Structure 1
Amino acid sequence: MHRKTLTTRRIISLIVRMVLIVLSAEILVMLIFNHFHIETRLSEIQLAIADSLLLLLIAAYPALRWVIRPIIRAAQVSAAHTEMLAAALENAGESVIITDADCIMVHVNKAFEATTGYTFQQAVGRNPNMLQSGIQNSAFYERMWNALNHNGEWKGELWNRRADGSIYPEVLHIRAILDAQHELQYYIGTFSDISERLELEKAARQSQKMEALGTLVGGVAHNFNNILSGIIGKAYLAKKKSTSDAVQRHLDDIHQLGMDGSTLIRQLLSFSQDSTHDIQKIPFTTLLKATLKSLQSSMEEEIQVQTNFPEEELFVFGDAGQLQQSFVNLINNATDTLRNSEDKLIKVTLEERRCSVCPQSEACDSCNGHVVHLCVEDSGCGIHESEMEHIFDPFFTTKDEGTGLGLSMVEGAIKSHGGSIHAESKLNHGTTLTICLPLNNPNADSASHDEYHI
């Protein structure tokens, strides 16, 4: 885009115009003086004054139109352009630092203030090394400055520190700005916080790892299931042939171990999502009540279970067996955490909820506005903060006995139903697991409430 600013060529053009206007006006004055014989009528002083006034009158309009107005317009355009650049710099999405040749900050924009927590007044006049986190060593910065000195720019990723002391990852691009004589004038650095990008990349890698692990587990589980079927079948046939009580007991143990292994295989197949699903409309309230009633019969007497179920039936769409097993895993997980607790309490809450009042709505990708909200809370020992990010990982467990598949299976099942699961825990204060599932037809009639059993 052509900008009407006062470039060197334009300044020369305006000077030439002015000279031509003055020369033309002077020639015209001379012609007027000769025509009216003014030189013979006035003294030298009067003649000089008349010459100047007449020259000014003749040259005024052409000079105003062809020289002064273009200068004013160019100055206005230049000022507007400078103001636009200043506004763009101030409101840029990326953080911007401008330093002088001695690396002292002379300007920072609003994005810099938002990212680092330092205000304009706190930053200007200081060296950008106040942002250093200490993660990069001196060799890193030496390579950076070598690139700047030899190539005039450097781009890379590093960790910096905010005003509050927290650290964050950023991608930084620094350029050295030179004048016409190739002398260094200042540095311009632009950077962006890439915390979110790194989290997405981490989630993508985890998803790929889980997909690969699921494929591997599915294949192993299928083969192992065939072996177990043979073992259980052979044990059954051997029991029919044997009359020895000791042999019968050993065969019973073999059969029970085989059945335990079969249960583990079902969990593995569920984790790998390689099992068939019977999708239907489920009376979720009835399902949970019946399941909890069956589970309570095998719980320790000291464990108290408090429930808060809605009077109306809440329906979800999905696989009843898979959702029931997920609820069983949640209750079993809560029961296991209460073994060494004095206060043994499990709270189960089921309700219909709008996502607008859900504290997890902003962080949840599965919210569709109208959900079934299931909360299982225990008064157990809780989970350490460092372990929270791994509780849904397969084969991760904080218990002495356990496969580490329970919660990973629950997460997979809930996500396959378009829902989400969230965990909150505080050491020595218990754990809360929350499930959200899309509500199916909030105004549905209670069509058929079949009984569900484990």
Structure 2
Amino acid sequence: MTLPHDGPVVQQMRLHGFNVAADYEPVRDILRDLRLPPYTEIPGYYWSYLWEDYRWYIVIGVVVVLVILLLVVRLRLANRGLQESETRYRTLVQNIPGATYRCNNDRDWSMSFISSEIESITGYATADFLNNSVRSYASIIHPDDQAMVKQRVAEGIEKCQPFAMEYRILNSRGEIRWVYEKGQAVFNDTGEVKWLNGTIMDHTREKELEDELIEARKMASLGTLVGGIAHEFNNTLAGMTGQLYLAKKEVHVPAVTKRLEAIEGLSFKVAGMIKQLLAFAHKDLVQMRSVSLSSCVKEALKLNSVVTPPRAIFRQDISSDELIVSGDQVQLQQVVINLIRNACDAVADIDGGEISVLLDFFEADETFLARNEGATAHGFAHLRVSDNGVGIAEEDMDKVFDPFFTTKAIGKGTGLGLSMVYGAVKGHGGIIEINSELGSGTQVHIYIPLHGEKGSEAEQQQSTEIVQGAGETILLVDDNLSFLETNRDIIASMNYRVLTADNGVKACELFREKQHKIDLVITDLVMPLMGGVEAAAVFRSIQPDVKIVFATGYDRNESLLQGEKMSGETIIFKPFEIEKMSAVIHHQLHH
């Protein structure tokens, strides 16, 4: 029987076998009193009874609680380890050069993951490529390279091997960038492709350096070839011009003299072409001095006035400031001449042709310096030659500076004009940029760093008269017998005594024998047995104050550049004008 207000005492009594009547009044009174504190607490023997009857339940409960606590701890440790692993993975991915990716092997290679480095490579946001939400990576691969990329990936999957390739992409600005990609397919248990993993790296700079290396090797090979040609040609031309000079002295028939002068002019024109080749191949020993680019341009404009097409409009805007650069005056004039002649050829067959020549000061800004990484100067002399002629096709733009490349008709050009310009500008530490569009014309921009003060006008002027000697003795040394004999007669005609030797060894023996009679030595640089520089060292060991002139067609071994120039030494390049040679001889003997 259960009382409506059974308390702990009644419950204990029943547990011990006592039967308590529900209507038992004394019990009710007792129960009423026992429901009040402090009798509500269950006595200690109650717990022992519970342990005896329910201990397994208690043990199991405690075990369950401990297991739950253990699982919670392990779960927290696992989460912490996962976070650390994710951090390490994220750090690893962020520090891998290039963009890492995971994509599906579908038509567009849908990206399920790609690292943020893709933004610096392509210019597009990373999110644009995830699941092809905005664009697919395949869509920015250059159209000409897409077939090759797909083929390389397919071959790698088929052979279960990594694939690697270099190709072009179009970035967000429409510019071509070179990338190098390496990846590998991941297969499931049935041999099907689950996804592709790989990296994409920007190789644009490496490609540029590779192209520069190839260009440098081409230039080295061309320079070696051109150097050999220059030496032989210039020696031969020097002999020809010398013979022509002697012939003009002996022939007094005006018509014949005119023809001889024409041949002489052609000889110097050939020498100019050799100089262009040397300039392009960076093999020309230029005579650098402070010169006014403004004067060079004005002089070149005078020389080109006769070749301007009669229907063309010619405009010039030459700065009134003296833009002083460190350079070779002859080369700089040749640069301007070649650019203007190219512009004239471009407008020769069109109506309303216009040619514009501008020279002004240019201060480099951040954009210019970023576009031309090698530029260090900020002040430049800026030359722009532009025309509205036929222009240059886009596919030919990469070849315009190649030697012998020309878009002109056969017989209209040699293909050396722009290549010579390129070599000369680079030799002056300058920058050249060309913009052209087929049918719209061409603009060529040249930037030469400003430098120093202008050289004296006296230095730049060339003598036009033969300076006679006073019977001084000159030792002439050259292994080219034709040049040796011809110039012996020419120098003798200037009232000098001439001794000759056809190599450096003989010259040293002759100098040792007649050192007190020899006033000046004129020697070639490149000779068998002993070159001119080595012979000059012997001359100076015998007579320290000897005057020496180096006459050379080409310093093949750059021997003049390898040592210090001594006082009393000068250089003259073959073929030379006889008037200039006489002035050099006179200057060396009397200064």
| TM-score scaled by length of structure 1 | 0.71
1:239-250 equivalences under 5 Å are none
Equivalent residue for 1:396? 405
1:314-358, Cα deviation, whole Å (9 max, x unpaired): 222222332222222222322332322322432222222222176
1:46-445 equivalences under 5 Å are 46-48=54-56, 51=59, 55=62, 68-69=72-73, 71-86=75-90, 88-89=92-93, 93-99=97-103, 106-112=112-118, 115=122, 119-123=128-132, 133-136=145-148, 143-148=155-160, 153-157=161-165, 159=167, 170-177=179-186, 186-238=195-247, 251=260, 254-296=263-305, 299=308, 302-356=311-365, 361-363=370-372, 365-400=374-409, 401-440=412-451
1:70-119, Cα deviation, whole Å (9 max, x unpaired): 65234213223225524654785433332469987533334457649693
1:14-53 equivalences under 5 Å are 41-42=49-50, 44-48=52-56, 51=59
**Whole-angstrom CA distance in 2 between matches of 1:202 and 1:312:** 38
Greater Cα offset, 318-327 or 134-143: 134-143
Matched-pair contact (CA < 8 Å) for 1:361–1:367: no
Matched-pair contact (CA < 8 Å) for 1:94–1:111: yes
Gap change, CA 1:94 and 1:292, over 3 Å in 2: same
Larger Rg: 2
- Give 1:254 deviation, angstroms: 3.9
Matched-pair contact (CA < 8 Å) for 1:95–1:108: yes
1:212-252, Cα deviation, whole Å (9 max, x unpaired): 11221121121012222223333444555568888767655
- Give 1:67 deviation, angstroms: 7.5
Gap change, CA 1:40 and 1:430, over 3 Å in 2: closer
SS at match of 1:123: coil
Greater Cα offset, 278-287 or 388-397: 278-287
**Whole-angstrom CA distance in 2 between matches of 1:109 and 1:364:** 29
2:243 aligned partner, one-letter code: K
Matched-pair contact (CA < 8 Å) for 1:310–1:351: yes
1:47-78, Cα deviation, whole Å (9 max, x unpaired): 4565567x479x86x996x8754652342132
Identity of aligned residues (%): 29
Gap change, CA 1:75 and 1:232, over 3 Å in 2: same
1:256-289, Cα deviation, whole Å (9 max, x unpaired): 4333322322323333344333322223334433
Matched-pair contact (CA < 8 Å) for 1:135–1:159: no
SS at match of 2:291: strand
SS at match of 1:231: helix
- Give 1:390 deviation, angstroms: 1.6
**Whole-angstrom CA distance in 2 between matches of 1:245 and 1:290:** 29
Matched-pair contact (CA < 8 Å) for 2:289–2:455: no
- Give 1:431 deviation, angstroms: 1.4
**Whole-angstrom CA distance in 2 between matches of 1:377 and 1:412:** 20
Matched-pair contact (CA < 8 Å) for 1:170–1:191: yes
**Whole-angstrom CA distance in 1 between matches of 2:379 and 2:258:** 54
**Whole-angstrom CA distance in 1 between matches of 2:368 and 2:136:** 41
Matched-pair contact (CA < 8 Å) for 2:99–2:200: yes
1:81 aligned partner, one-letter code: S
**Whole-angstrom CA distance in 2 between matches of 1:71 and 1:137:** 45
Matched-pair contact (CA < 8 Å) for 2:299–2:333: no
**Whole-angstrom CA distance in 1 between matches of 2:49 and 2:257:** 149
Matched-pair contact (CA < 8 Å) for 2:309–2:348: no
1:189-224, Cα deviation, whole Å (9 max, x unpaired): 223343443343223212211221122112112101
Equivalent residue for 1:27? none
| TM-score scaled by length of structure 2 | 0.57
Gap change, CA 1:71 and 1:397, over 3 Å in 2: same
Gaps of 5+ in 2: 1-43, 463-591
1:225 aligned partner, one-letter code: N
Gaps of 5+ in 1: 1-35
**Whole-angstrom CA distance in 2 between matches of 1:215 and 1:358:** 37
1:108 aligned partner, one-letter code: I
- Give 1:440 deviation, angstroms: 2.2
**Whole-angstrom CA distance in 2 between matches of 1:345 and 1:285:** 22
Matched-pair contact (CA < 8 Å) for 1:39–1:47: no
Q: Report the structure, 1 or 2, having the larger helix content.
A: 1
**Whole-angstrom CA distance in 2 between matches of 1:252 and 1:409:** 27
Matched-pair contact (CA < 8 Å) for 1:303–1:344: yes
1:72 aligned partner, one-letter code: R
Residue correspondences, number: 408
